[in-house]
Amino acid sequence: MSEIKEVIVKTDRLATDKYQVNMGPQHPSTHGVLRLLVTLEGEKVLNVQPHTGYIHSGIEKMCEAISYPQIIHLTDRMDYLSAHMSNEAVALCVENALQIEVPDRVKYIRTIMDELTRLASHQLWWCVYGMDLGALTTFFYGLRDRELILDIFEETCGARMTVSYSTPGGLMFDIHPNFQKRVKDYIKYFKTKLPEYDQLLSGNVIMRERTEGIGYLTLEEAIDFGVTGPSGRASGFSCDVRKHQPYSAYPFVKFNEILDHRCDSLARYEVRIKEMWESISIIEQLIDNIPEGDYAVKMKGVLKLPEGEFYQRAESARGEFGVFIVSDGKKNPYRVKFRSPGFSNLFALNNMAKGHKIADLVAIMSTLDLIIPDIDR
Amino acid sequence: MKSFIEYITSIFKGVWTLLIGMKVTGKYVFTPWKHVTHSYPENRDTLVMFERFRGEVIMPHDANNEHKCTGCGICELNCPNGSIEIISKSIVTPEGKKKRLIDQHIYHLGMCTLCNLCVKACPTGAIVMGQNFEHAVWDRAKLTKVLNQPGSKISEGVKE
């Protein structure tokens, strides 16, 4: 009798069951093959468990079999939207190990390329973010501006995204004679277009309703999870490698580290928009002052690193990218480990999305700017 | 009453932000010539790629069907993923010396990541990057190419 009573009581309260839904690996809003195991109660998200490994390509293991200049082209394929930063991190790591000082010209060109890559990456992020919120218009506007940066890359580096431009000891080619003019034209053009981004999306009432106060990540949580890059800085975590451990030409330029203490999705959005302005100002400071000189140091045919462990950080468009090389004195590395920003950022998603609706989960995930090959490597 | 007024004003403010966005899109509706896209398949005849664009590895031959490849194999050593295979042959020159020459320079386009290391390493500049990017074929075997043309030989004056 008592059992029956209990059942009746339960149905009276209309208790909804928890259920689990697989979002991905083929879900369009996961930007690749990311699988999220979402525990739901009705529409409310209780728990998000990311499952990675669907595009694992074993890049770290492949690096053990090839020489140091050959590693560069594999790092293109990890974070394909900020390929140049990954190239540069590996190149810097090898140069530090061999204690080679590259010419100033190389440093300046690398930094300009970094910032152009950051612009291109943030533009793509911006247009995809709008699309995840349901605004298809932004997609065309962002890609239109990004295409011109890719043209600059194509002219100087020979490829649009997988540039392989920084090599140990310098650069693959010297800059193209048109490079400076093109970059200056582009900066002039993009300065008129970036305010359009604000008009289209930043001020939009629908976008603000869906981001303000959503996806809260406290400073403590950001530090615990190692959330770096614009996502970490939106939680007030001062983590800009360009500022704290300057490399290449960053010591020569003046720029601000964008920090925001609002910790929500809107903060992560605005940090990226402001970073684009900072990137523009960095490029403007450097583009007219590229010193004359060689574009590469003459290197030996076979590079052999001294025995030991070497670590190099670089600020990619998504956060801190780290390269850890263990060398046993041969021409191949003994072990290579990449610290990818996307992996650390992804696992903070549970803390951000808990308690929100499933539609907000998509909006929150998109603010992290996830690149799946960067997570799985 | 106060909250009702706030509610109404928030509606008008929201509509205003939408109109600002509409202004931007409207500007481009009425100025459609300010676009940056290429109408690609139609402009095939006039499309010029950048000179450094990496489409495929090619071996240029001159009018006498001569190339600069000595068959040294440095490109094969520098290739990170084994896209290049060098098959060399040895011949006896009229002076009676044995000489190693290229027989086949096999290039697997399907495996190539276009990293430019082979072109950079080539001591004689025999291979360069071509600008062709339309590589789609029905048969995978067609992606394996022999770069030196049949009957071609090394041009004189190339140092070995």
3-state DSSP of chain A: CHHHHHHHHHHHHCCCCEEEEEECCCCHHHCCCCEEEEEEECCEEEEEEEECCCCCCCHHHHHCCCCHHHHHHHHCCCCHHHHHHHHHHHHHHHHHHHCCCCCHHHHHHHHHHHHHHHHHHHHHHHHHHHHHCCCCHHHHHHHHHHHHHHHHHHHHHCCCCCCCCEECCEECCCCCCCHHHHHHHHHHHHHHHHHHHHHHHHCCHHHHHHHCCCCCCCHHHHHHHCCCHHHHHCCCCCCCHHHHCCCCCHHHCCCCCCCCCCCCHHHHHHHHHHHHHHHHHHHHHHHCCCCCCCCECCCCCCCCCCCEEEEEEEEECCEEEEEEEEECCCCCCCEEEEECHHHHHHCCHHHHHCCCEHHHHHHHHHHCCCCHHHHHC
Q: DSSP string spanning B59-98?
A: ----TTSEE------HHHHH-TT--EEEEEEEEE-TTS-E
DSSP-derived secondary structure letter, B32: T
B36 and A148 within 8 Å at the Cβ level: the answer is yes
B62 falls in which pLDDT band (50, 70, 90)?
A: confident
Q: Average pLDDT, whole number, for chain A?
A: 86
- Establish if A159 touches chain B: CB-CB under 8 angstroms: yes
Q: How far apart are CA A70 and CA A158, in angstroms?
A: 17
pLDDT over threshold 50, residue B83: yes
CB pair distance less than 8 Å for B20 and A203: yes
Report which residue type is found at A177.
P
Residues in chain A, total: 377
Q: How confident is the model at residue A1 (pLDDT cuts 50, 70, 90)?
A: very low
- Report the predicted TM-score, pTM, of the whole model to 2 decimal places: 0.88
Q: What is the DSSP letter of B51?
A: T
Position B69: which residue type?
C
Please judge whether A154 and B18 are an interchain contact, meaning their C-beta atoms are less than 8 angstroms apart. Answer: no
pLDDT tens sequence across A46-90: 888 888 888 888 888 988 999 888 888 888 888 888 889 999 999
Residue A324 pLDDT more than 90? yes
Give how far B61 is from chain A: nearest CA, Å.
22
- pLDDT score of A326: 92
> Is B54 in contact with A176 (Cβ distance < 8 A)?
no
Look at residue B74 and tell me whether its pLDDT is greater than 70.
Answer: yes
The predicted model gives B43-53 an average pLDDT of 86
Question: Of the candidates A356, A342, A371, A377, which has an alpha carbon nearest to the alpha carbon of residue A38?
Answer: A356
Report the run of H or E that residue B30 belongs to, with start and end.
Answer: helix B2-30
Contact with chain B for residue A303, Cβ under 8 A: no
Q: State ipTM.
A: 0.84
Cβ contact, residue pair B52, A137, below 8 Å: no
Q: Residue range A290-294: average pLDDT?
A: 87
Distance CA A376, CA B50 (A): 33
Instruction: For residues A143-157, give the mean pLDDT.
Output: 88
Least confident of A16-25, A112-121, B108-117: A16-25
Q: Which candidate, A210, A211, A203, A251, places its Cα nearest to that of A234? A: A211
B-chain CB neighbours of A73 within 8 Å are 80, 113, 115, 117
CATH code at A58-376: 1.10.645.10
What was the pLDDT predicted at B36?
Answer: 62
SS3 B141: helix
Do the Cβ atoms of A253 and A104 come closer than 8 Å? no
The set of residues, in sequence order, having a beta carbon less than 8 Å from that of A221 and lying 6+ positions away, is: A227, A235, A348, A351
Nearest alpha carbon to residue A230 among A371, A361, A112, A368: A368
* Contacts A–B by Cβ distance under 8 A: 71
Per-residue CA distances from B70 to B118, B125, B157 (Å) = 14, 10, 11
- Nearest chain B residue to A195 by CA distance is B24
Q: How confident is the model at residue A16 (pLDDT cuts 50, 70, 90)?
A: low
Gap between the Cα atoms of A111 and A115, Å rounded: 6
Cβ pair A156:B36 closer than 8 A: no
In tens, the pLDDT along B103-119 reads 888 889 888 888 888 88
Q: Could you tell me the pLDDT band of residue A334, with boundaries at 50, 70 and 90?
A: very high
